[in-house]
Amino acid sequence: MSENRSGSGGLFLGGVLLGAAVGAVAGLLFAPKTGRETRQLLRKSADALPELAEDLSTSMQLQADRLSESASRNWDDTLVRLREAISAGIDAGQRQRELAQSELVPPSARDAETGETSTRDSSTV
């Protein structure tokens, strides 16, 4: 969640810079100045626009890099959890299969597999 907050900071800064540029141009156009003064101010503002655009571009690039790193970390974490879940599922499946097989094999066959002999009383049969 802190990633989202820091990410919106770059967009906010870009919006502030763009708003400042638009406001400056609007202020110059509606200010009670002579045409020459207005043109000079517009020229200065226009000269500042490339720097403003570069700052905005840098801010957006940094934000994109942060998002890319965050997505990569999240992907790696997801892969680790997925591998663990698959491994746990395989282990549980093997245990269930062994349990089911042991329930299907009659006791006398189990004794034969383990080499044990049945010590049942013939009177209890």
* Three-state helix/strand/coil letters over the chain: CHHHHHHHHHHHHHHHHHHHHHHHHHHHHHCCCCHHHHHHHHHHHHHHHHHHHHHHHHHHHHHHHHHHHHHHHHHHHHHHHHHHHHHHHHHHHHHHHHHHHHHHCCHHHHHHHHCCCCCCCCCCC
Q: Where are the domains of the chain?
A: 2-105
Look at residue 5 and tell me whether its pLDDT is greater than 60.
Answer: no
Mean pLDDT of the chain: 79
Q: Answer whether 7's CB lies under 8 Å from 63's CB.
A: yes
Whole-prediction pTM = 0.41
- Is the pLDDT score of 27 beyond 50? yes
pLDDT for 43-99, tens place per residue? 887 788 888 888 888 888 999 999 999 999 999 999 999 999 999 999 999 999 999
CB 31 within 8 A of CB 45: no
